Every structure is written in C-alpha cells, then in structure tokens.
Amino acid sequence: MRFIIKPALIASFGLLAACGGSEEEEAEKIDYASFDDKAVQQLVDDGEYQKALEVIKAQDELEISDKTDFLTAADIYLNLLDGVAAEVAIEDAREAGASDGEILLKLSRALLLQQKFKKADEILNDTSFEGEEKFQALLLRGDIAQQKQDIQGARYFYRLAIEEKPEDFRGYLGMALLSLNQGQLTEANAFADEAASRVEDDPIVQYVKGAVARYERRTEDAEKHLLKAVDLHSGNMLAYFELIGMYIETGQLEKAQEQLDSVYALVPNNPMAQYFNALILAVEGKTQEAEYMLLRTGDFTRTFPPAARTYGHIAFELGKYSTAQPYLERFLSQAPADRSTRLKLAECLTRRGQSARALLYLEPLIGEGSEDIEGLLQAAAANGAQGNIVETRTYIERANEIAKAAEDMDQNLIAQLGQRLALTRFISGDEVGAIAELQALYSNAEGDAESLTLLANMQMENGDLSGAVATAKRILEVEPDSAVGNNLLGAVAYRHREIDAAMTFYNKALEQNPDYQSALKNRGLANLTANKFEAAKKDFEAVLSKGAEDAQVHAMLGRAYLELGNGKDAATHLKQAEAIIPESAIISTDLAEALTLSGLRSSGITQAQKAKRLAKADENLMQYIDDLIVKWQKEELQAQKDAEAEREKRREELAKKREEMEKARRALIEDGSLKDKETPPPEGADEPKNEGDPDEGEAEGDAEDGTPGLRS
C-alpha cells in the first residue's frame, strides 16, 4: 500500500526542515556576546538552527538582543514548523520595536502552523501588501486554503501568485505541492517542471519530482531526485522520508536504515523517523518491537494516517483486535481502496462480535463477480459468527470455485477451503457428510495434517472418540514430531476423564512446541479439573502473556483464581471475559461469585440476577444461581442483623459505662472528695482547690483508664 506523505511544508515557507524538535546539545563555553547579526545568520544558512537559537537565547538573557535576533528566531521556528515558538518570537520582536510590516506575514505563517486559519486570514485580509510581500501573501493564502481542504481556493490564490510574479518558481511549486497532495501526479510533475525551469537546483522542487516518480513506480528516477534534494539541503526531512518509504517498499532495508540513521543524527526524537523505524521492524517480523517503537511516537499514530495503518496492522498481528480496530477504521476512512486494511478490520470486527459491521466493510470485496478469495472467506466467517450457515457455505463455495479454476493456485489453500466446506456441513448437522468430505480430502492430499486435525475434532464432537484416536495417530504417522497429534490424543483422554493420561500427552505436545497455545489451554483445563489450581493458573497466564484476547482463557483463569480464594483477581479476568462474551451465563455466574468473594455481596447478587436471565435454557444452572442468590441474600440479611446487634451492644456498653461513671461521681460527692457541680457555691466565695482537681485554665480531660472527665 502506498500512501502519499502530505508535505507539512507549503509554498509560502522557504525551507524544508525537521517536523519535530531535537535534543539539546551539551552546552559549550561560548562567548555569545561576540556573535553579531551576520554571524547568527551564517549559522542559519549553514543549517545550524539549534546553535543559532542557543546564541539568540543567551543574548536575550544578557539583554543585548534586538528585534533582528527575534525575527531570525521566528524564521528558524517557522522553518522547523513550530508555530507556537514562532509566534512567541514574533511577539518578542514586536516588543523590541519591529513594525507591522516586518512581522505580519511571519505571524500569519505561525498561525497557519497552529491551524488558526481564521486569525491568519484576518491579518492577510486587513493588510495591504505590495511587491514581494504581496506575492508572499498570495502564496500564504493559497497555503491556508489548502490546509482548510479548500482546493479551489488554493488553486485560485496560487494562480494569482503566478500572475503576480510569473518569473518566480514558488507559485508553480505551490501548485505542484497541491497536486501532489491530491494524488494528481501528472499535474504535479508538470508544475514541478515549470518551477525547475525558473530556479536552479531547488531542494523542494527535487523533492516533488522524486515523490511523483516514486508513486509512479519509477524507482531509479525517484532515488535520483530525492538524493539530490537531500544533498541540496541536509534538513530536507520529507525527501529523507520518501527515500526511506521507497526503500522499505522495494525491500532495500539496509538502505532504508542508512537514511533513517541520517534523520536520527539531525533530529533524534522525530516521530516520523520512529514510525519508519517501526515499519522496518514490522517488515522484519519483529512485531512487538515495532509496537513499542510506535507507542513512543505518542499522538503521531493518531494524526499521521500511515502511522495509524502500521500500528493497526501490528496490533492485529499481535492479536490485539480491540486496539487495532480504531486505527484501521481511521486509516480506511482516508484510504478506502486499501484492501489489506479492509480485510484486517473486518476480521477484527468479526472476532469482537460485530460481524454485521464486518459485512458492511466487506461489501466492496464480495459483490457479484468478485474473485477476492480472502474477502469471500472473511464474509463466510462473519456469516458463520451470526449463525448463517447457508450464507457461510455459499461464500466458501464461491471461493473454492475460484481457487480450483486458477492454474497457479496454492494447493494448500484449496485444501483449507475443502476443510471449511466440511466444517459448515458439520455445523449444519450433517456430521456424517462432513466427516466423509474430510476423509476424501485427506486421501487426495496424501497426508494433509490440517484436514486430519479438523477430522479428529469433528469425530470428538460427534462422540466418535476411538475414530479421533485413530485420526490423531495418523497425524503422528505423517508428522512424527507433531505437537498437534499429541494434543489431540490428550483431548481424547480428557474426554474419557483420564486426566493423568491427558496431562502426559499435553506435556509431550508442549515439549515439542512450548508456545503451542491450544496445548497450554488444554493442560490448564485438565489442571483445573484435577483441582491443581496453581498449575492451571500458570498455564492460562502463559497463554495470555502472548497478547491474545481469549475470552475462554480469561474465564478459566478467573475460575482458577476463584478456587484459590482470590476474588479480586478472579473478578478482573472474568470481567474481561464478559466484555468479549457478554451473553455467557457461566461467565456471568462466576463473576457473581468473584464479586461476592471480594466482599461486594450486593454487587454479586445483582450480577447473579443478570446471570439467571442469561441461563434460561439451563434449568440446572438457573437452580444453582437461585441457590446462590438465596444464600447471599440470607448472608446479607444476617450481616445487617449482626451489624445492628453490634451497634446495640456498643450502645449498651456505653450506657453501662455512663452508669458506672455516675456511681463513681456520686460516691466522691458523698465522701466529700468532690463537690456536686449542681450545687452552686455561696455568692462571692472562692471555690477551694482539691489536689485532684485540674489546674486553673486546664480543661478536664480523659483519665488514664479511659473514663471521660475524671482524674485520679
């Protein structure tokens, strides 16, 4: 898939530069005061933007900077496409005495970079420009219109600029960039030629020529123009990125990495560079490393469509379908012709229970006369998820006919289509016909292990366990080191409730393939059945560590935690399982138990009532849930009674304590140790102080024995 990188640089900007900031270089001991305006400008001309900004900042701190310094800083930030910093520098220049004539065009560009189109337009509409400034204002208005997706407006202003200065290349360049952004490659190339005839070796013109050649698949011409663009201006990031993208597409990963290293040398944290780095990793099959690299780009994956596509594809390959879906949708809305993204999005939706939406996305690929086998198979899967077995088989039959008619079709694909046809027959209730179809497939394929695997599973589902054993042994004859064969034998042993024998087969399968998730899941289930909950937990966690969103595994892991008495972790996994399979009565019931075990009995009762509604077809489960609800309601009522009894006990204890305190006080009054506070002393008489009384000004406090208001 090729996606045109829309240039952030537009016609009114003078240089191509990095799209992001670079890390600050280690400070050097420099006599900043010795740099005059000419020396600073030389740094800019040499592409030493950060050093020039460092000098300007230092001179500002020394209070020796003037408007020229701030205007130079503004130009640098504009070239770096940093509109916010440019606007700040422009305001500093205004305070230092710069006139409107010196700053208004720059300010309009800074506002454009911040997408403040209305403010930028207001400045240009309210200001009268002449000569060169009028020409630049027209280019800028074309740029604003282009960014607002007002294509007619952009063409109008660029053509006015050409009429204003037909000898200047920049008006033609604006038209070339506009055409390139619209995917009109012939027109873009023609305008780039017009621009090239009016300027000698301009890096932006070379970039456009190279980009057009790339998208027209003229790889040699593209490489020549893009390398020249980089040679003419070392900060020409878009040329670098076109080169990198082209090298990746043509499998020249070493060359791509070489250009990427050049970008990193200029701007170490550039998000576009990180995106291409991730793309190289993805092409090399290093999907987890690619995902990590893309996560480092932050919002870039949301704002740059190709990055969204790459991240969506990577997340899909890692089995993170809920993560992949919004990125794939976002990219497909801008590039609806991208078949690969459309297919992956459809599969994400089907896997997440949104098969009706999946079919809507598949419509362009599965219409009458379509020969898109993968699209037809996705449609079959989506219909299968909805239980539409007739439609499922129809789509598979269409795909099968196309495959058989093709001379160079992969025989493995034809075998897989036969397996799917047999599976639809099995699901529709024709178990005998399905098994016969698979047995014929096996005979034709001379040892098709996949067909045998499906056959063994069908035999197990049909209750023919001895037939499943025979089929599994045939798999081992075809592939003696097959983990699949041993896993199937383990599954048959488990059906016979021969748990130890099943564990032996599962262990053997995992010795042959330690990452075999089906065997891990099956061994975990066997451990769960054998009440070996810690071992079961480890197996299920090993499956989830691979990043797949498996509701069944989350549910079984939740059950293991439940059996281990860990309600909190059980609830965490059961909630994830319920989110994927919200209609499962068993998962809902287990979640109710987990919530109750966590101390959330009221929430557990509510969840159990939901589970009961889902379990209408299972009388035994409904009775079990009813028993749980009755039990928990009794416990809840008893807990409330216990709490009230505890409160009453505390009230009685407090009343008793107060009674004892009153008795003690009365006793002290009777023996004269304490005067009755209710009997006032004679008027004007001083109250004698007892040794046990508090000092004057000291409030009565609690005694050491905890009796309020008394001291010994």
- Per cent of the chain over pLDDT 70 is 84
Identity of the highest mean pLDDT range in 55-64, 286-295, 523-532: 523-532
**211 contacts 180 by C-beta, under 8 angstroms:** yes
80 compared with 381, residue with greater pLDDT? 381
Residue type for 107, please?
L
Distance separating alpha carbons of residues 263 and 482, to the nearest angstrom: 47
Residue 403 lies in a domain: no
Q: Which of 209, 233, 257 represents a domain boundary (last residue)?
A: 233
Mean per-residue pLDDT of the chain = 82
Q: Give 332 or 407, the one with higher predicted confidence.
A: 332
Half-sphere CA count of 294, side-chain side, radius 13 A: 29
- Taken as a whole, the chain contains a residue count of 712
Q: Which of the four pLDDT bands, split at 50, 70 and 90, describes residue 11?
A: low
Helical residues (DSSP H) of 446-600, grouped into ranges = 449-461, 465-478, 483-495, 499-512, 517-529, 533-544, 551-563, 567-580, 585-597
Please give the pLDDT value at position 510: 93
**Domain final position from 210, 233, 256:** 233
| Banded model confidence at residue 89, pLDDT cuts 50, 70, 90 | very high
Quote the pLDDT of residue 422: 59
Is residue 609 in some structural domain? Answer: yes
For residues 379-386, average pLDDT:
80
Instruction: Decide if 581 contacts 551 (C-beta within 8 A).
Output: yes
What confidence tier does 435 reach under pLDDT thresholds 50, 70, 90?
low
- Confidence label for 606 from pLDDT (cuts 50, 70 and 90): very high
Structural domain includes residue 174: yes
Write down the pLDDT at residue 703. 38
Q: Which of 102-106, 418-422, 672-676, 708-712 has the lowest mean pLDDT?
A: 708-712
Which of 666, 686, 707 corresponds to the end of one domain? 666
Nearest residue to 363 via CA among 403, 332, 390: 332
328 part of a folded domain: no
Report the pLDDT value the prediction gives residue 238, as an integer from 0 to 100: 81
Q: Which residues of 427-449 are buried (b: 16+ CB within 10 A; e: fewer)?
A: beeebeebbebbeebbeebeebb
Residue 155 placed within a domain: yes
Structure tokens at 55: 């000098």
Residue 562 inside a domain? The answer is yes
Which domain covers residue 635, as residue numbers?
549-666
Does residue 687 belong to any structural domain of this protein?
no
pLDDT of residue 693: 45
Token pair 């966590």 in the structure block, residue: 598
274 pLDDT higher than 70: yes
Whether pTM exceeds 0.85: no
Average pLDDT rounded to a whole number, residues 417-443:
60
Q: Phi and psi of 515, rounded to 5°?
A: -100, 15
Total tally of structural domains belonging to the chain: 2
Range of weakest confidence among 458-472, 484-498, 597-611 = 458-472
pLDDT of residue 381: 80
Confidence category of residue 343, pLDDT binned at 50, 70, 90: very high
* Residue 553 covered by a domain: yes
Determine how many CB atoms are found less than 10 A away from the CB of residue 275. Answer: 25
**Which residues lie closer than 8 Å to 81 by C-beta, 6 or more apart?**
8, 9, 13, 17, 18, 19, 113
Query: Is pLDDT at 230 greater than 60 in this prediction?
Result: yes
Q: Looking at per-residue confidence, does 13 or 530 come out higher?
A: 530
- CA 112/CA 86 separation, integer angstroms: 11
Helices and strands per DSSP (H, E), number in the chain: 36, 0
- 703: its two tokens: 């005694």
Residue 707 to residue 178: CA distance in whole angstroms: 88
CA distance 268 to 264: 4
Kindly indicate the confidence band of residue 565, based on its pLDDT and cuts at 50, 70 and 90: very high
Helix (H, G, I), strand (E, B), or coil: what is residue 603? helix
- Six-digit token string for 607: 């969840």
Q: Per residue in 128-139, pLDDT tens?
A: 888 899 999 999
CATH code of the domain containing 145: 1.25.40.10
